[in-house]
Amino acid sequence: MIEIRFHGMGGQGAVMGALMLAEAAFSEGKYAQKIPVYGGMRRGGDVTVFLRLDDKPIRRTCGIYEPDAIVVLDPALISVPAVRKGLKKGGLAVLNDERSPEEVDLGVELSKLATVDATGISTEVLGQRAIPITNTTMLGAISKATGWVKLESLFEPIMGMFPGRIGELNVEACKRGYEAVRVREA
């Protein structure tokens, strides 16, 4: 089982992103479980989502406190200690960060660290927003960096969540994230 913790700000699509990744995994015959954690916070508040992926049914329903991987949708959160807390040695991280993976130190020895400028891609594809919607760009980066799901498996969940032109733009953001991600392996 792969245990993943998503971190984002309300409005960036962390919950929807985890759901679309879970749906893509399910379409490939895998099992997935998503548990969002957020209170009555307003747009812009911290959001954490627990996601488990496995080839067999998932029975565990608690939070994820020692994740195999973290996905960080907002670059401002990368330096927050709680975001990195519990990340397993040998784990992996996929970050929305302009820096190259070689420039990033999360304070734990990782098997893989991936960075993508999801904010920049989101702004180019979806337009300027107070809180950039980075989830679909990050999904493309996750696909390439981890191989958890095929890139093409993400398209149907994206189009299901965002029909029409908005969906097409989000698929484009996903493809751009896949193409632009940079990965450093240990």
Average the pLDDT over 49-65 and give the result: 95
Q: Is the pLDDT of residue 27 over 90?
A: yes
With cut-offs at 50, 70 and 90, classify the pLDDT of residue 130: confident
The whole-number pLDDT of residue 39 equals 60
Produce one character per residue of 142-178: b if its CB has 16 or more CB atoms within 10 Å, e if not: bbbbbebbebebbbebbbebbeeeebebbbbbbbbbb
With cut-offs at 50, 70 and 90, classify the pLDDT of residue 11: confident
Average the pLDDT over 147-162 and give the result: 97
With cut-offs at 50, 70 and 90, classify the pLDDT of residue 96: very high
Q: Is the pLDDT of residue 41 over 80?
A: no
Average the pLDDT over 78-87 and give the result: 93
- Cβ atoms of 170 and 122 closer than 8 Å: no
Average the pLDDT over 120-142 and give the result: 94
The whole-number pLDDT of residue 43 equals 64
Q: Is the pLDDT of residue 91 over 60?
A: yes
The whole-number pLDDT of residue 40 equals 55
Pairing of strands 2-9, 69-72: parallel
- Cβ atoms of 14 and 6 closer than 8 Å: yes
